[in-house]
Amino acid sequence: MSRVFACLALLLTTVPLVAAEPTKKPNIIVIVADDLGYADIGCHGCKDIPTPHIDSLAKNGVRCTNGYVSGPYCSPTRAGLLTGRYQQRFGHELNPGPPSDTTIEVGLSLAEKTMPQRLKSAGYATGMVGKWHLGHAEKFNPVHRGFDEFFGFLGGAHSYVQANQPNNPIMRGLKAVGEKEYLTDAFAREAVAFVDRHRSEPFFLYYAFNAVHTPMQAPDKYKARFEKIADEKRRTYAGMLSAMDDAIGALLEKLRAEKLEENTLIFFISDNGGPENANASDNGPFRGQKAQTWEGGIHVPFIVQWKAKLPAGKTYDQPVMQLDILPTALAACGVALESSDKMDGVNLLPYLDGSRTGAVHHALYWRFGAQMAIRMGDYKLVKAPGGGLEAGPQRQGKADVAGAQLYNLARDIGETTNLAEKEPEKVKELAAAWQKWNSELVDPKWRPNNAAGKKKKKDK
């Protein structure tokens, strides 16, 4: 009998110890594609370019069918992503110029606290692989903005086959380095190596591809997969996208090999819609493209996978935005926001796991030079003049709501039927909300002197 009591006593003393053991913090990975067309991944119905690894994220996670970004252009979206705030609040409304044209003050505001800074303070190893595009001066370098490690380039675009570009080299930390591999393959190598180095501790990896941004360059080994695609530009695009999908697959394979995938929260987005003429991307049912506040410029793939916590194969239809990624990641890691933080993003976890219903945001807002938009429920008020990809005059002007068009996206996702004359009260409601938001913003800190681009062949 005494032996039985001894065993019970031992059990009672060990149970609290087991119960008190802290849950391991999840790893965080944010994957950003560059200029990806909404209709160009398999889980969105693409038929000519298989994307099995991107699709696996949707199969094992939640696909947000109304995913948005807060800017229709590369750098503004990234500024919003890493801060969780509308980038127009701190003047990062437009792209900085090329390295030769920028000043030491052009970059992501040093007054803004970044996602890696927050996670680093919480004990995370932080690394970035890929395209930065948030400032060329040394003080803006990723290693000075919260990342322990950085491999990639600082500018907005880069050759995939030539490392030593003037003013925009491939860098490891603060030093320029050589690179012989196809750049997307090199990014895959570096992402896998980062996970290998930090597999025993919680980590945050910002995996920011420059694919499928121009220049259009793909090795024959990738283009050969698409001999049935007759159009040369589309075939090259397919090769570039296939290389990126393989790079995502290499990362997922590493996570699985290390038994880390279950407790890794993974986000996948594009930084904006595809520039259809420039890279042969396809924005599917949407009107417009990159650099425009039509749906084609701001409505993007948006997938969230966390096997340990989120359902698999679910679609979520409420509008969400890349600004939500930072607060969602912080909530997953148990990192509290500070009282001084003024986040525009929202923690998506209770919405994605089904514990909370209703709209995530009362409204979503855009301002991009002379363009504006607001989505509230199914309605969208938008002012996006026609024009080409660069649309220089649209970025030089100042946005207002005069002449804005109204669409019901639930019935008209292609933005074909302007309802402004039929529903003037709805126009007034959305215009007033946008004007209130706009009054809280600052002017752009810089306005690159970009000429108007070539006209788009179609504005669908």
By annotation, the residues acting in catalysis are 74, 133
Structure tokens at 405: 């068009």
Instruction: Please choose, from the candidates 168, 197, 281, 172, the residue with its C-alpha nearest in 3D space to the C-alpha of residue 231.
Output: 281
Side-by-side strand order, sheet with 171-172: 175-176, 171-172, 149-153, 125-131, 203-208, 27-33, 264-270, 302-305, 62-64, 314-316
| Other C-beta atoms lying within 10 Å of the C-beta of residue 411 | 9
Per-residue buried b or exposed e for 6-27, using 16+ beta carbons within 10 Å of the residue's own CB: eeeeeeeeeeeeeeeeeeebbb
Token pair 């594009």 is found at: 270
Helices (H), 334-377: 349-352
User: Where does residue 3 rank: exposed (0-12), middle (13-18), buried (19+ CB within 10 A)?
Assistant: exposed
How does strand 314-316 pair with strand 62-64?
A: parallel
Angle, vertex CA 112, rays to CA 107 and CA 116, nearest 5: 95
- DSSP for 14-61 reads HHHHHHHSPPPPPEEEEEEESS--TT-SGGGT-SSS--HHHHHHHHTS
CA distance 112 to 193: 29
Among 17, 32, 52, 85, smallest CA distance to 250 is for 52
Secondary structure E strands in 97-198: 125-131, 149-153, 171-172, 175-176
Tell me how far CA of residue 91 lies from CA of 197, 383, 437, in angstroms. Answer: 37, 20, 14
DSSP string for residues in 401-443: -TT-EEEETTT-TT--S--TTT-HHHHHHHHHHHHHHHTT---
Which DSSP state fits 399? -
Whole-number Å distance between alpha carbons of 367 and 374: 9
Q: Which amino acid is at 449?
A: N
Q: Is 401:383 a contact under the CB 8 Å cutoff?
A: yes
3-class secondary structure, 128: strand
How far apart are alpha carbons 272 and 156 in whole angstroms? 13
Q: Give the end-to-end CA distance of the chain in Å, rounded to a whole number.
A: 82
